[in-house]
Amino acid sequence: METEMFFVDTGRPDQEAVEKPQKVKGQQEIVVVNKERPFGKFRPKGKFPNNKFEQKFNANQGRVFRRRGGKKFQGPAPIDKEALEKHSRGAGADVTGVKGNFHRAKLRKKEIYHEFATEQAARTEILLTEGEGFIEPDEGEETAEYTQGEIRENVDITAATKAFELKLDFGAYRMRYTRNGRHLLLGGRKGHVAALDWVRKKLHCETNVMEEVVDVSWLHLETMYAAAQKQWVHFYDKKGVELHCVKRLHRVERMEFLPYHFLLATVSDTGYLSWLDVSVGEIVGNFHAKVGRIRSVCQNPYNALLCLGGAKGVVSMWAPSQPQAVAQMVCHPAPLSAIATDSTGLNLFTAGQDRCVRVWDLRQLSGPLHIYRTRTAVQELAISQRGLMGFAMGNVVEIYRKPSALTAVTPYLRQRVEGHVTGLQFCPYEDVLGVSTARGFTSLLVPGAGEPNFDAREANPFMSLSQRREHEVHALLEKIPMELIALEPNKVAEVDVPTFKERFEAKRKMMLMKPPKIDFEPRRKAKGKGGSVQRAKNKQIEREKKRKEFKEDVRELQRKIVEEHKEKDVVAPAEDFIPLESKSKSVLDRFRPKKKQKK
């Protein structure tokens, strides 16, 4: 960084001025500021080569010099193209089809804001100091040969404490981490339920419900959790106190919580799907899937669809607003044993009894992109935030790196645990893989698995009490309605042009409808009972009558269309709104003051 330099001289003010020395090539301009002698220590650091500084000072005693900035400002630093592509929101809107200069300018201004936000997001990546780190083996070695003991010996003390093992006697266990990765929930088949802060090893609650626990799940915060017991689903708080019991959720096998919709999705052993809105306590969707026994369940974080793996090798995707499957994919020729999606929701990982793990593209519902061959069938499957894939076969856990064009032959890490694996999940924002078995719980260190930088507004592992309250209030205010869950969530912001045109044309025809031609032919009467003049009069009377009926129907339709548009413009009052004055007559009107009539 360039700074200003000041020099001092003890010479007298009336001393004769010395000739101005010639400017040395490559040297910056010197300007007289004051008459003082230099103080302190100054190291030129190569700014004045060949000791030209001393020569210039001796030749110009009695003058004070200041260095001016040499290089001009070249503008802001260039932005990394990869960072721009990462934060890009896609191609901008096309203004050619927009009518009106005002709307065209408004759309251009919006695109400028989007470009500025993309550039700022790309520039702020310099503040993300942490990066992912994988194990780099020596020549002739493989990372799968390293054991957990060797990894603990070569990491820092804080990371080494994250690898531990809990031996419990009430298995088999199911486990879940919170969204911020700070808290752990365990549920055993023999009724044991425990919630703890696994980082600080602090136990929140531990109880035995004296009933079989099939599955457990955290809700929107670590203050409440749900346990699928033998008959119904029970809700507990952080201290283990039972809050509620939902008997409509009967014999539930698996549970998934949708944090942005406040929905608890459940699957029963009879094949029924249910979505419970925990913010109001109502079931918003309940119907039979008709896919046989459901072996595995996961949610897609991109569109909040519930993915089910059945016994026929078919993965079906469901939304609470539709009683039929939104999409179906035939993934394996054998029954599915486990399914999972990555953090982006763009890839689907499936494992079947045919001893294969396949990767599918959910954007086009096509694939497989990659195929992994295993020695035995995979029971549990988990995907980390950085794309690592872990699956369990019996009591052996294997972790693979990100899928590439060439399928990896050897795993990234391999570990054998005690007991049959019944649950598998990567801890968010930590290089940890949680494994629940029939004999307890094991925490494994997996370098490079977690996202190194977290968004404090999205999921904060160090959340205080006040921040937790604010987060809960904001989450409830920003709750997404369950009607918006669809295969393509971005279509909500698009205009259905064909349907809009059809509705517009139908209304236009109603407003401009013309009376049809009426062909009325009166019946012929006996001779002498009525002449041709009377027949013509009767025909005209019937035509006028039907024309008036038609006009009344058209006016009624036009009146309804106008009222619909008026209702859209006016905000509807709340259900509990009671107007101060109403046009309808009431029994209490006799107590109102009567208006005085003007004489």
Q: How far is Cα 148 from Cα 442, in angstroms, rounded to an integer? A: 11
Check: CB of residue 437 under 8 Å from CB of residue 171. Answer: yes
Strand order in the sheet with 173-177: 173-177, 183-188, 192-197, 202-208
Q: How many CA atoms lie within 13 A of 240 on its CB side?
A: 15
DSSP states along 229-249 = ESSSEEEEETTS-EEEEETTS
Check: CB of residue 461 under 8 Å from CB of residue 450. Answer: no
Instruction: Write out the chain's pLDDT in tens, 599 residues.
Output: 444 444 444 444 444 444 444 444 444 444 444 444 444 444 444 444 444 444 444 554 444 444 555 567 777 788 888 888 888 878 887 887 788 888 888 888 988 898 888 888 888 888 877 777 888 888 888 888 899 999 999 999 999 999 999 999 998 999 999 999 999 999 999 999 999 999 999 999 999 999 999 999 999 999 999 999 999 999 999 999 999 999 999 999 999 999 999 999 999 999 999 999 999 999 999 999 888 888 899 999 999 999 999 888 999 999 999 999 999 999 999 999 999 999 999 999 999 999 999 999 998 898 899 898 888 999 999 999 998 999 999 999 999 987 654 445 788 999 999 999 999 999 999 999 999 999 999 999 999 999 888 888 889 999 999 999 999 999 999 999 999 999 988 877 776 666 767 777 777 776 666 666 666 676 666 665 556 777 778 778 887 888 888 878 877 877 777 777 666 655 555 555 555 555 566 666 766 777 666 65
Give the three-class secondary structure for 186: strand
* CA end-to-end span of the chain: 92
pLDDT at residue 579, as a whole number: 52
pLDDT at residue 480, as a whole number: 93
pLDDT at residue 82, as a whole number: 86
Single-letter amino acid code for the residue at 500: F
Cα 233 to Cα 365, 406, 503, distances in angstroms: 34, 45, 46
pLDDT at residue 587, as a whole number: 63
pLDDT at residue 1, as a whole number: 43
pLDDT at residue 68, as a whole number: 55
The total of other beta-carbon atoms located within 10 Å of residue 313's CB is: 18
Check: CB of residue 222 under 8 Å from CB of residue 182. Answer: yes
pTM for the whole structure: 0.70
Q: How far is Cα 171 from Cα 213, in angstroms, rounded to an integer? A: 10
